[in-house]
Amino acid sequence: MHSKDILKEALNLDPAEKFIIVEGLLKSLDEPDHELDTLWADEAERRLLAYREGKLKGIPMERIFPSTK
């Protein structure tokens, strides 16, 4: 069954059944991915080291979030 077919059938469900499906799908997206977490941690360490060695410049917070002062 293709995703378009699944969506078409899901749209015909009553609201309570739709809620169960939506909640289940959202939960499945929020599961931890240890491999991805490790990749991001490694990248953060590389960036921090580059910053400390002067190879990477920081950006002022005000430039990223202009309304924050």
pLDDT mean over 4-30: 94
Model pTM score:
0.51
Rounded Cα–Cα distance for residues 38 and 33 (Å): 9
What are the residue ranges spanned by the domains of the chain? 1-31, 33-69
pLDDT of residue 30: 83
